[in-house]
């Protein structure tokens, strides 16, 4: 069996538990591509997996890393439309922090020539999540009013751009020093959640009419105010519980009065067919937008793979605006 280098976890815990070590190189099974990874990108799920709080789905690699860009070095049995040397990027159930990773042919996208591998690696998780949240779950319609919490996050920066393409009027909440980028991406009003109450801002700006859609990552502490901020037939899509999961009291009257819908979702544990359909539809509708510069991955910093612990600390300290990318070209 061939060996490769990868970022491994000594025992579940902090960033200091990450180290570069040798492990077996995976062999591509039916429909799988073995990809020489040029770049991967960080996600909050990686932090939780490193801490032992988010095990990979059954059958997935236990190496961290949910997205990659690189070059196909071997195609598994039954692979029809990819060959050695193709530049690809896409979503994985795990295994991205390594010299080589397995990418299913149905989830692979062809890296456009005008994309660096680092740009390509910054796209899958946040753009697919944002597209799914706005369109599949949130049913965003043209010129609707939408609030995107954590607007400067990876998912937030993708969601602002996608909502702008739908001519939505966009409110975001984020730390004040992260507002400029959100405005540049298309936000109409940036709310500093540390000094402003977002529900009051929405009431005032919409003259009490409320919003059509909210994309939320905070959950419990924002739930009541999110409900207050929605208008008739409003939709709330929750993607994370960064603020907490338990709500003590909740009045259901507004749900009936305003005919509200609440959805919660995770992308990682969706069946591959769902992820494939999402990937295909997203790319069909948006490849041209990337080519035209109407969409772009917002990359905060690129770390070398040997700096992986520092990269995790950076993300955990909420320092990033957009994506933190890892260049995996040089190992020890």
Ligand X SMILES: NC(=O)c1ccc[n+]([C@@H]2O[C@H](COP(=O)([O-])OP(=O)(O)OC[C@H]3O[C@@H](n4cnc5c(N)ncnc54)[C@H](OP(=O)(O)O)[C@@H]3O)[C@@H](O)[C@H]2O)c1
Binding residues vs ligand X (CB under 6 A): 43-45, 125-126, 129, 150, 152-156, 174-175, 178, 217-218, 239-240, 242-243, 265-267, 315, 318, 320
Instruction: Give the Cα-Cα-Cα angle 270, 274, 276 (nearest 5 degrees).
Output: 115
Nearer to ligand X, 73 or 241 (CB): 241
Cβ-based nearer residue to ligand X, 31 or 90: 90
Nearer to ligand X by Cβ, of 79 and 155: the residue is 155
Q: Which residue is nearest to ligand X (CB)?
A: 153
For ligand X, the closer of residues 64 and 155 by Cβ is 155
Rounded least distance, CB 278 to ligand X, Å: 10
Q: Nearer Cβ to ligand X, position 242 or 294?
A: 242
Tokens describing residue 59: 């059958």
Which residue, 93 or 154, is less far from ligand X as judged by CB? 154
State the minimum distance, in angstroms, from the CB of residue 7 to ligand X.
18
The nearest distance, CB 67 to ligand X, in angstroms, is: 10
Nearest distance from residue 21's CB to ligand X, in Å?
26
**Least distance in angstroms from the C-beta of 151 to ligand X:** 7
Q: Which residues contact 202 (CB under 8 A, 6 or more apart)?
A: 147, 171, 210, 211, 228, 229
Angle at 146 between CA 140 and CA 148, to 5 degrees: 115
Least spacing, CB of residue 39 vs ligand X, in Å: 16
Comparison of 164 and 268: residue with beta carbon closer to ligand X? 268
| Token pair for 273 | 């067919």
The CB-of-41 to ligand X minimum distance in angstroms stands at 9
């Amino acid at each position: 069996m061939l060996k490769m280098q990868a970022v491994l976890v000594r025992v579940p815990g902090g960033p200091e538990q990450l180290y570069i070590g040798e492990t077996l190189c995976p062999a591509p099974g039916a429909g799988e591509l073995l990809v020489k990874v040029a770049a991967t990108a960080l996600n909050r799920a990686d932090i939780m997996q490193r801490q032992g709080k988010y095990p990979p789905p059954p059958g997935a690699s236990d190496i961290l890393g949910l997205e990659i860009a690189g070059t196909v070095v071997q195609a598994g049995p039954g692979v029809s439309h990819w060959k050695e040397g193709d530049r690809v990027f896409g979503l994985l159930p795990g295994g991205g922090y390594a010299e080589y990773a397995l990418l299913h042919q149905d989830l692979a996208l062809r890296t456009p020539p005008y994309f660096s591998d680092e740009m390509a690696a910054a796209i899958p998780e946040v753009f697919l999540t944002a597209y799914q949240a706005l369109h599949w779950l949130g049913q965003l319609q043209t010129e609707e009013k939408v609030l995107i919490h954590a607007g400067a996050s990876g998912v937030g920066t993708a969601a602002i751009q996608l909502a702008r393409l739908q001519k939505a009027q966009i409110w975001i909440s984020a730390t004040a020093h992260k507002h400029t980028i959100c405005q540049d991406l298309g936000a109409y009003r940036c709310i500093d959640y540390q000094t402003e109450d977002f529900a009051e801002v929405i009431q005032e700006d919409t003259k009490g009419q409320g919003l059509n859609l909210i994309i939320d990552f905070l959950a419990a502490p924002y739930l009541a105010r999110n409900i207050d901020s929605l208008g008739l037939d409003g939709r709330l899509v929750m993607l994370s519980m960064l603020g907490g999961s338990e709500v003590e009291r909740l009045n259901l009257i507004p749900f009936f009065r305003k005919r509200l819908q609440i959805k919660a979702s995770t992308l990682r544990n969706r069946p591959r067919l769902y992820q494939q359909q999402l990937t295909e539809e997203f790319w069909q509708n948006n490849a041209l937008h990337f080519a035209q510069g109407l969409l772009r991955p917002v990359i905060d910093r690129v770390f070398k793979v040997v700096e992986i612990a520092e990269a995790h600390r950076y993300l955990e300290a909420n320092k990033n605006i957009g994506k933190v990318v890892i260049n995996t070209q040089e190992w020890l």
